[in-house]
Structure 1
C-alpha cells in the first residue's frame, strides 16, 4: 500500500476521540466495577480495536507491525522485571531483607514511619537512579516492617512509590532523566536544577501529609514487633555481611552500570552468600528458588508470608499485562489515534502556560492510552519541541514537563508499566495504592502551576528585555 493511501486511512479526530472513550469505558467498567484482572479487559479492547482497524482498511501486516512497534519499548523493562524477580528471591533467602527489617524495627519510630519511608526511598532512588530498583529492594523491606507496625498496605505502598519516583526525578543516573534531556536537548544538570523547583515543594507537601497520616493510622503492637524480630534473627542470617548485596548494588549504580547487569550482580552476590553459608546451596535448590521464588519456613505464619516471594514465575503475570497493554498502545499509534489528538491541540498553544499545560496533558493522555512512560516522554517531546522554540521558551521547561507528566504519571496508571510493576512487586492492588501515592500527583500539578506563574513571569520579563534592547 502506498504511503499516501496509508495516511488517508488513519483515524480522524472525531473517530479517535470516540475510540478512546469506548476504550476507557470498557476498561473502567470491567476493571473497577467488575474487578477483573486488567489483562482480560485490555485483551478485549485490543481484539475489538484490531478487527475494527482491519475493517477500516489496515492490512494484517500493518496491524502486526504496529503491535511489534508497541511492544518493542517494553522489552528492556520486561527483562528488568525478570531480573528483579531473581533479586527479590535471592535477597529474601540470603537474609538481606531480614537484616534491613530487623535494623528498621530498632531505629524506626512508629509515628515517623511513613515520612521516614518516603525520605529513605527518595535518597535510595537518587543514589541508584531507578524507581523500580528502590521499590523492589527497600520497598519490600518497608512493606514487611509496615505490616508489623499495623499500617495499611496501600498507605505503605503509596509512601514507597512517592519516595522512589522522587528519587528517580532527581537522580543523574535515572533513565527517564537522561531520556527527557536527550529529547529536549538540555544539559542534564540544568534539567535537575529546573526539576528541583517543582520537586522540593511537592516533596515537602507529600512529607507533611505522610507525617499527619502516620500520626492518625498507627496501631503498632510492640510485643508483636519484638516477636517477629526474634523470629527473623533465628531463621535468617541477620548480619552486616547480609547487607553486602546492597553495597554491590550501590557501587554499580554510582559507576553508572545499566540496570540489568546491576540487578544481576546484586542477585549473584546474594547467591554467593548462600553458597558460602551452605544454605540452599545445591544447584537444584538455587534453580528452583530463582524460578519459583523463595518460600520461608520459620514456624510463624506471619513471618512466612512476609518473607516469601520473588522468582521469575511470580513476575509472569505482570509481564503478560505489559505485553497486552503495549500491544494495545501500538495499535493506537499505528492507527493514528495518538498523533491526531496531539496535532489537534498544538496550534492553540500561544502562551507558556498553555504550552506547558498541553504538553503535560499529552504525556498524561498517552500514559493512560498506551501505558508506557518512554512513549509518554518521546511523543509529546518530539511533537512540541518546535512550539517551545517558536515561543522562545527555554527547553529545560520542556524536559521538566516530560519528566513529570511522562515518568511520574505512569505510576498512577493501573495498566501502565510502572503501575503493573508496583502492584506485582509490593503485592498491593494498584487501585488501592494510587490514592496514597501523593508525590506523582503533586509534581505534575506543580509543573503546570509554575507554568502559568513563574515561567510565564520569566518569559514576559525576557520578552520585555529583548524588546527594550532592539
Structure 2
C-alpha cells in the first residue's frame, strides 16, 4: 500500500509502452545516431516527460518529489565518484600508477596481456569488493600499459570492466551482493555459491575470448616500451614505497571499511608520499592537485597523456550525467511507468525458467529506464519475490538473477551509473568498450540458460518427489 502511494499516476500498459518506445527512440537517435553526449538527450527526454506528466494531472509538487526520490539513491555514488577523483590524482602524483605501469611492462607479455588484465582485475575486485575501486586503480594503470603495447583502448577497457565486475560479483564485501542478500533474505555465502555456478563458466568463456583476441601477430615496440618505462622512472617516484596506497586500500578492504573512508585514506596515504618527497607541496598546491587533477610535464608527450588526470573537476561530467539520468528515472517511477511494465509480466511467470527470464529482463529494463543498479535490484526483487515463494523456488536463484540483471547490465548502459563511471574513468566511450566487455553479458545469459535447464530440472524432480508432496501437504 505504501508503495502504491508513492506513485502519482498510473499510466496504462499501452501508454507506458508508448512512453518507453518514444524515450528510447529519442535517446538512440541522439546518442548513437547523432553521437551526442548523453546529458543533453536525457535532459530533453526528461523535459518532455515532466511536462507530459503535468499535462496528465500530476502536480508540480509530486513531480519534484519524484525527481528528488530518483536522485537520492545516487548521492552515495556521486560522493564515491568525487573520492575516486581525489584518489586518481593523488596516485598519479605519488608515483603509484607509474610504479604499477613499470612493473607491468616488466612482467606482462603482449600475447597474454588481455587475459592477465581480466584475471588480475577479477582478483582485485574480489579483494576490495568494488568494481569502481578496481577500475579507478588497476584499470587506469592497465589502460596505459595496453596503449603502449598496441591494444585498442576499447578492448583493454572491456577486459578491465569484465574482470572488475566478476570480482565484484564474487566478493563478500560487495555492496550489490549484500544488497541482494539483504533484500531476498538469503545467506551471503549461499548467494556467492549460487553466483559461482554462472560466474565460473562465464569467466572461463570470457578468458578464452581474451586469449584469442590477445593471441595475434601484434608485436610491441620494445624500444618504445623501454623509453616510456625509463621516462616514468625518471619523472615519477617509482619504488616500493609508492605501493603503500595500494597496501592501505587492500588492508582497509580486509577490515571491511566502507568505500568512502577507504578511498579517502588511500588518497591521504598517497598525498603523504607526495609531501614527503616534495616539501614544496603546500595546502594550495595540494588543493589544486585534488581539484583539477595531476598535470604531468615530462619530455615525453605520451607519458604526459598517460599520467595526466584525476581530480574533482574531471568527474563533474559523469556526476551531471548521473543526476539527469536518475531524475528521469525518478519520474518514470513516480508516474508508475516502471511498475506498470514490471507488473504486466507477473501473469506469465508460472515456471522457473520463465520466472528467472522475466526477473532478468525486468532488471535489464529498469537499468535501461532508470540507469541505477540499486533500483534495478530492488524493484524486480520486491515485485517477484512472492512468485519465487509461490513456486517453492529457492530464493538464492532470485538473488543471483537480481545481481546479474542489476550490476552486470548497468555497466552496459551508457547512461547507467556504472557505464558513466567506467567510460569517464577509463576515458573510453561506453559504446566502444561494451562489445568487448564479454563477461558482463555472458553472465546474464548463463543465468537465464541455467534457469531453463538445471533449475527447471531440479524443480521438476522436486514436484515429482512424494516426500516433498507429503511435506507440502503437512505444511498446508
Could you tell me the TM-score, scaled by structure 2's length?
Answer: 0.97
- Is residue 151–residue 217 contact of structure 1 (8 Å, CA) maintained in 2? no
Are 2:254 and 1:265 aligned? no
Is contact 2:46–2:327 with CA below 8 Å preserved after alignment? yes
Deviations 1:21-75 (A, max 9, x none): 0000000000011111100000000000000000000000000000000000000
Shift of 1:377: 0.2
CA contact (8 A) 1:274 1:280 kept: no
Distance 2:313 2:377 in 1: 30
SS in structure 1 of the partner of residue 137 of structure 2:
helix
Residue 158 of structure 2 aligns to a residue whose secondary structure is: helix
Q: Is the Cα contact below 8 Å between 2:8 and 2:335 reproduced in 1?
A: no
Deviation at 1:283, TM superposition (A): 1.3
Q: Answer whether contact 1:377 1:406 (CA < 8 A) is retained.
A: yes
CA separation in 2, counterparts of 1:181 and 1:450? 20
Distance 2:351 2:383 in 1: 16
Counterpart in the other structure of 1:183: 183
SS at match of 2:101: helix
Structure 2 counterparts to residues 64-463 of structure 1, below 5 A: 64-216=64-216, 218-278=218-278, 281-463=281-463
Q: Partners in 2 of 1:287 and 1:258 — Cα distance?
A: 24
The alpha-carbon deviation at position 282 of structure 1 amounts to: 1.5
Contact 1:130-1:175 at 8 Å conserved across structures: yes
Q: 1:131 to 1:7 in 2, by over 3 A?
A: closer
Residues 388, 307 of structure 1: alpha-carbon distance in 2 compared, 3 angstrom cutoff: same
Question: Deviation digits for residues 213-233 of structure 1, max 9, x if unmatched?
Answer: 001273411111000000000
Alpha-carbon spacing, 1:370–1:348, altered in 2? closer, same or farther (3 Å):
same
- 1:312 and 1:6 map into 2 onto residues whose CA distance is 34
Q: State the alpha-carbon separation in 1 of the partners of residues 217 and 385 from structure 2.
A: 45
Alignment check: 8 A CA contact 2:6 2:334 kept: no
Range moving further from structure 2, 453-462 or 156-165: 453-462
- Give the Cα–Cα distance (whole angstroms) in 2 for the partners of residues 426 and 23 of structure 1: 28
CA drift at 1:280: 5.4
Moved more, 388-397 or 281-290: 281-290
The answer to whether the Cα contact below 8 Å between 2:7 and 2:333 also exists between their aligned partners in 1 is: no
CA distance in structure 2 between the aligned counterparts of 1:185 and 1:216, rounded to whole angstroms: 47
Q: Is the 8 A contact 1:330 1:370 kept in 2?
A: yes
| 1:16–1:109 Cα change, 3 Å | same
Aligned partners of 1:346 and 1:468: how far apart in 2? Answer: 26
Aligned length: 469
- The answer for unaligned runs of 5 or more in structure 2 is 471-476
SS in 2 for 1:172: coil
Alpha-carbon distance in 2 for matches of 1:279, 1:219: 42
1:427-455 Cα offsets, whole Å, 9 max, x none, are: 00001000100001000000000000000
Q: Is the 8 A contact 1:143 1:426 kept in 2?
A: yes
What CA distance in whole angstroms lies between the structure 2 residues aligned with 1:6 and 1:431?
34
Structure 1 residues 240 and 5: CA distance shift in structure 2, 3 A: closer
Moved over 4 A (4+): 3-8, 466-469
Specify the alignment match of 2:473 in structure 1.
none
Contact 2:463 2:469 in 1 (8 A): no
Calculate the aligned-residue CA RMSD, in Å. Answer: 1.5
Provide the TM-score with structure 1 as the length reference: 0.98
CA contact (8 A) 2:170 2:196 kept: yes
The separation in 1 between residues aligned to 2:126 and 2:405, in whole angstroms, is 19
Question: How much has 1:278 moved relative to structure 2?
Answer: 1.7
CA 1:115–1:4: 2 relative to 1, 3 Å: closer
Counterparts of 1:6 and 1:211, CA distance in 2 = 49
Counterparts of 2:265 and 2:399 in 1: how far apart (Å)?
32
Partners in 1 of 2:231 and 2:469 — Cα distance?
74
Measured in 2, the distance between the counterparts of 1:217 and 1:74 equals 44
CA offset at residue 466 of structure 1? 4.3
Q: CA deviation at 1:279?
A: 5.5
How many Å apart are 1:463 and its aligned residue?
1.6
